[in-house]
Amino acid sequence: PSQEDLRKILMHASENYRICAVIMAHSGCRPHVLGNYDGSDGLTIGDFPEMRIDGSKIEFTTVPTMVRVRSGLSKTGRAYFSFLGQEGCDYLKNYLESRIQEGETLDSKSDIIHPKSWSKKFITTSNLSDGIRSAMRSAGFKNRPYVLRSFFATQMLLAESKGTIPHA
């Protein structure tokens, strides 16, 4: 999808699924990284080491900011990192600040994507995929949610061709 296509999808997504789509599209994370199949693990605030919570405000000390993917969330079983650019940081900041304003207390172990059901600590991969798929269909796209990762790959190729980042 193009940047314009992504914006259309985000407009049709609920707040939870919007931030899921943003993280996938802007950091290249797989759905399983955000929330595993049984909802027992997923990205936490601690996985964003450059994010700070100051009362009701969220700040990033560095942008693009690091996204640490722990080995248990990685497809290969090996920890790695990615990053999230300014637009993604803005979406994440607004999402987390709205959770704080609703009375939630956030710390390093708090989930990044809060599930609708309180029976699970993290959003499940299937719920995440269903929510993004629904937003994509509402926006007129027939692709699978996984295509958001190809958006990230395309953006990296464009940045490489402009000399902004090296291939490695």
Instruction: Give per-residue pLDDT as tens, 113-168.
Output: 988 776 778 999 999 999 999 999 999 999 888 888 787 777 777 877 888 877 66
Radius of gyration (Cα) for the chain, nearest Å?
15
The pTM (predicted TM-score) of the whole model is 0.88
- Rounded CA separation 97/89 (Å): 12
Terminal-to-terminal C-alpha distance of the chain: 24
Tokens of 23: 């993280």
The SS3 call for residue 121 is: coil
